[in-house]
Amino acid sequence: MYLKSDAVLNGYNQYSMERRYVLNQEFISHLKLGPIRQVQSVSGGDINQAYQLETTQGRVFLLIQPNHTKAFFTHEINGLKLLEQFVKVPKVLSVGYWQNDAYLVLSYLAHQSHGDDFALGQALAHIHQKASPNHHYGFGEAFTMGTFTADNTWQSSWSQFFIQQRLEPLKEFCHQQGVWSLPLERAYQKAIIRFKMLMGDYQPQPVLLHGDLWSGNFMFDLDGRPIMIDPAVFYGDREFDLGITQVFGGFNAEFYRGYQETYPVVAGFEQRVLFYELYYLMFHLSQFGIGYQQAVTNTLSKINR
């Protein structure tokens, strides 16, 4: 264990709880960050253990992924490098492996929760204008969100990619967890038929996506400029990202106006975007259990009206 205190026994992922730890000096020496003044456990989602470290040279952000090699962070690093062409992101300072765990050190960005939402929408629109390098959907390397590993093998068909490499694996995962019911299966199969019909009239360009753009994955710097974090990038239908933004809220009218004025959505968006909301709710059902079952049911009902 890297960070030692009685509070650690209560779990690493409690949000915004300031704690002081006695650091494992061997690990800190390995990081080559210099003397550490303070450690604060911060929100790192449910994937990584996350810490803000205050060193004598300034602050850094540390992510630890237990029981993985440093390859675990390859996709996040690649995603940050792609997104930094269009929006402010943390800089990668180092990545490595210590004992049984992977770690990633990122620059700390002073931030606030409010800023230029219009510019955030514009930034996402500009990201969505970066075309796939091979005109296919995917990315060529898988990535893991929680306990779900997403297959990013390149495909020429968006419909095939989205169904076979997103929805179907999530459905199987939910089934294994015992949270997928027969009524859900019937509604899901009906929805898949609907999705294929809609894709017959809509051929999305494969463009760069953030891949996990919920309200916890953006913020603003002290000048109000947007910052994006925790990407799960791949090339797909730009409406995928927009669908995720609508699941839990946190994106205001100015955000959508900024997007729409930069890269307007096309006819039929309201019908198609429901499938991307379905994906995100199915992901949460697979990770957090039956509490999300009703939300999945409700979204399938909207799709199948």
Asked if residues 211 and 234 have their Cβ atoms less than 8 Å apart, the reply is yes
Asked if residues 242 and 259 have their Cβ atoms less than 8 Å apart, the reply is yes
Q: One fold for both 3-108 and 113-303?
A: no
pLDDT band at 154 (very low <50, low <70, confident <90, very high): very high
Length of the chain: 305
The terminus-to-terminus CA distance of the chain in angstroms comes to 52
Predicted local confidence at residue 12, as pLDDT: 27
Query: How far is 182 from 65, CA to CA, in rounded Å?
Result: 36
* Least-confidence region, from 13-17, 45-49, 246-250, 300-304: 13-17
Asked if residues 73 and 63 have their Cβ atoms less than 8 Å apart, the reply is yes
Query: How far is 43 from 54, CA to CA, in rounded Å?
Result: 16
Q: What are phi and psi of 103, to 5 degrees?
A: -140, 155
Q: How do residues 105-115 score in pLDDT, each as one tens digit?
A: 999 999 998 99
Which of residues 168 and 101 earns the better pLDDT score?
A: 168
CATH of 3-108, one of 3.30.930.10, 3.30.200.20, 3.40.50.150, 3.40.50.2000: 3.30.200.20
pLDDT band at 41 (very low <50, low <70, confident <90, very high): confident
Q: How do residues 201-253 score in pLDDT, each as one tens digit?
A: 899 999 999 999 999 999 999 999 999 999 999 999 999 999 999 999 999 99
**113-303 under CATH 3.90.1200.10, yes or no:** yes
- DSSP annotation of 152 reads -
Query: How far is 216 from 149, CA to CA, in rounded Å?
Result: 20
pLDDT band at 4 (very low <50, low <70, confident <90, very high): very low
pLDDT of 5 over the 50 cut = no
The pTM for the full model equals 0.88
Q: How do residues 167-207 score in pLDDT, each as one tens digit?
A: 999 999 999 999 999 999 999 999 999 999 999 989 999 99
Buried/exposed 169-198: b ≥16 CB within 10 Å, e otherwise = bbbebbeeeebbeeebeebbeebbebbeeb
Catalytic residues: 212
Residues sharing a CB contact under 8 Å with residue 228, sequence separation 6 or more, in sequence order: 83, 87, 88, 89, 123, 210, 213, 217, 218
pLDDT of 21 over the 70 cut = no
135 to 155, 164, 182: CA distances (angstroms): 9, 19, 37
The domain spans of the chain are 3-108, 113-303
